[in-house]
Structure 1
Amino acid sequence: MTGISLALLAANPFGQKNSLSAAQLALIQQKYGVASSSIDPLVPAAIDCSRIKQLGIDRQENLRAGAIMIFCGLSEGGKASHGKAFSKLAKKLLSPLAFGSTDVDLITGAESFPNVTQSETFTTANPDNPNQIVVAYNDSRGRNFTPINISGASVSTDGGTTFTRLTKANGQSPFDNTFGDPVVLYHKPSGNWVTVWLDAACGGQGLGGYKSLTPDDPNSWTHFCAFNEGSADRES
């Protein structure tokens, strides 16, 4: 049963329900209504919790949707486990298998608690230059930055022996105003590296990204929009 529970948790990390009943919607309207303010930068200040189903937020899996579901009381946020035995079992079950050689740290530079979490990597190597590798990921470093930036990437120029996290002079990644969900690709005809994220500048929460011919230079990445809308979800 433990294995089944862990599998279900992995498939639905925010504990979201697949749909909301009329009773749940009525409770949300009564208890939460329209939020006039938010302590979470991922949650819009004027979010109307009664419109969760109408907006399809309960069917989305991105970080922003998860934060909204937690804010509106429809999902339980993370919490520390107090069961030592279960913790040891979970660690054993979820520990990675031994692949390749020695692990390499992608996260270089300063970290500032509590924004020290990274997740969901997407890795691409340059087919014309295998020494050049880019790994994109969710990065909470810019969660409280303005504009919000929870997207990051690290670049290797020595075939993966070492990586450097892309960091501009302001201490953030080049991917301003994005909500994570990483994709990074190499466009062979143009030589461009292309990242794609959930992007606030593309209709509120569309698909946008940044591209660069010199990916190890954090100042070389320029913005583009691929799709403008207000509720895009997990392009990766």
Structure 2
Amino acid sequence: MSAYTESPRYRRCQAIFDRTYPNFRDAGQRYADRIAAALTEETRLLDVGCGRTSLAADVMQQAQARIGIDLSFSDLQHNTSMHAVAMADAAHLPFPDAHFDLLVSQWVVEHFVEPEAAFTEMARVLRPDGRLVLLTTNANNYIPLVSRLVPDGLQRFMIEKLLRRPSHESFPTTYRANTRRAIQRIASRTGFEVESLEFVGNPFYMAFNVLAFRVAMLYERMTDWRPLNGFKLYIVATLRRI
């Protein structure tokens, strides 16, 4: 917990959310569920962009072998959930063909400059019929749409002052593989098929103000309607290697 999430304002927003969605499973929980469904005790797992930890770290402990790659040397130094780590990017993975049974990746796809190259490389190191589980941002949601219009300096200010997070923890985003259509297109070109894909909301980016949060909650209720569901903030997807 942080001072931000423990604040009276945030708790009030949380209470509003809980009344509307009493049994809600957030994107991180759904991501962990998908990983758990693909895991066995013999699974060789690669976490692409492992960072310091994962929302599914507890679930991934079941894997026989856990390898992580990241571009941040500092994050790799602090990662204790992987058996081994390497400094590498998704488009240049230092592993043999068909080496892994399961690939997982959270908050990484939105940063891919050349997503087809990254997905092709991930397909290369994944065995046939293996799974790639993704948690990423939906480019069609208002948060990334607004962020692309905001200058970098103002984005850093908003991250630090409104969200109470250090700006250096955020990295440039491209959103080149961050819609249902884009994921389906790239999957079909790189040796994958989309097995399942769901959109999950999160109004808490607006929890810096109760009125703003109520507006965000109205948006969540609207996007619960199936034709508008594709405008929620997150995408959780499972791709099968073919």
TM over 0.5: no
Which structure has greater helix proportion? 2
The structure with the largest alpha-carbon Rg is 1
Using CA pairs below 8 Å that are at least 6 residues apart, which structure has the higher relative contact order?
Answer: 2
Q: Normalised by the size of structure 1, how large is the TM-score?
A: 0.26
Q: Normalised by the size of structure 2, how large is the TM-score?
A: 0.26
